[in-house]
Amino acid sequence: MNNGAVGIVGAGCICAAGDSVEEVISALYSGKRNPVPPVAFTSELSEFPPVFEIFSDLTRFAVHENHSRTTLLVLVAIREAMLQAELNDSVLKNTRVGVALGTTVGCTLNSESFYREYRAGRMPNVSPITKFMSNNPAMAVAEIYSLMGPVAAVTNACSSGADAIGVARDWLNSNLCDIAIAGGTDELSRVAYLGFNALQVTSNEPCRPFDKNRKGLNLGEGAGVLILESEASIRRRKSRPYAMISGFACSCDAYHPTGPHPEGVGLERAICGALADASVTAADIAFINAHGTSTMDNDKVEGCVISRLFGDNISVVSTKAYTGHTLGAAGAIEAILTIRGLLDQKLPGTIGFEVPDPACKIIPTDRLTDISGRFALSTSLAFGGSNSAVVVQLDS
């Protein structure tokens, strides 16, 4: 490895498409998805935009009765990733392991009843506050596994999962830890559901990334985790990295609280910075896993930037068509699926895409597609003008 690249020795994922990386990738390759109206909560809307909800039993992963669904989701992903990375109790005890996990607001939006009672002048039970105080997902993981490295919860809206990967990579390159658990996690919540609906960016039908007839996003929930390891630790443990994080950069538009800059200047800076960090050019990138939310502005701006930087022949996919927009988990889940695309040398079709939109400048995959190359790019955009880009590569 060189140029600051760090090895990927394990990955874990849970979302509506499946309870493991293998289940998720199988759903993507077979073109299966099932967004439905939310079951976990109710609303007074006249129509119910579908969501990508997880119906698996997560209670068996609970370590503490106060652990939120957001924390339980990441514990599922971590368990899978640790098994693949061969991180047993002995390794965890004798190695500096850091935790960087992204989330938007996690469980904090699921305490409506408490705040309603409090504002009404009553004295509600404080258990929601107790639960909130114990549900920083990064701290919860560090406590559960008695980890000795740095800990950070990254809350940078929808780029949080990607940004957490960038933070963990910096730790490893600065010798602050030997191994890092990096990723993101978020659960569905009624407040987020109603909030995105109020912003008029949700769709009452399954999302259609980059399609001319797209009407908005579908929210989702889940967690994605990568186990990253420094070169020195890989040699010491005789680990077997199968891919690397070789480039990362982030930038801010400073343009609008929710919308991207119409020219995508921040996204372009992030992509160019990540390519430079990885010492590659646009021509080296085999494909892009785009943020691709299926909203009008995001898809148009992102498509134009991709076309401007990569031309017309770059393969592009939006895996949100299968997972929904998992908010703080999105960047991490999509990085994992990007890595898997490189390993398999193929991409799923962007389900829902049918009619090209000239305003987007790009045409995403519409069927299972073979690709060729060692490098790929995953992009994340967020409220507040945040833009992040991750370059992954196959281990040489």
Known catalytic residues? 158, 291, 325
Q: How far apart are CA 38 and CA 51, in angstroms?
A: 6
Give how far Cα 206 sits from Cα of 117, 144, 213, Å: 36, 37, 12
Give the integer Cα–Cα distance in Å for 234 and 172: 12
User: Distance (Å, rounded) from C-alpha 68 to C-alpha 71?
Assistant: 5
Distance between CA atoms of residues 380 and 366, nearest Å: 21
Task: Tell me the sheet residues that pair with 219.
Answer: 325
d(CA 63, CA 60): 8
Residue given tokens 């790929």 in the structure block: 376
Helix axes 160-173, 330-344, angle to 10 degrees: 70
Q: How many CA atoms within 13 Å lie on the side-chain side of 56?
A: 20
User: Contact, 381 vs 255, CB < 8 A?
Assistant: no
3-class DSSP assignment, residue 120: coil
The neighbour count for residue 162, using CB atoms within 10 Å, is: 35
SS3 content of the chain, % helix, strand, coil (to 5): 40, 20, 40
Q: Locate 191 and state its tokens.
A: 């407040």
Asked whether the beta carbons of 360 and 299 are under 8 A apart, the reply is yes
Q: What is the C-alpha to C-alpha distance for residues 326 and 232, in angstroms, rounded to an integer?
A: 34
Kind of pairing, strands 243-252 and 386-394?
antiparallel
Of the candidates 197, 217, 223, the one whose C-alpha atom is nearest the C-alpha of residue 106 is 223
User: Using alpha carbons only, what angle is made at residue 330 by residues 152 and 114, rounded to the nearest 5 degrees?
Assistant: 70
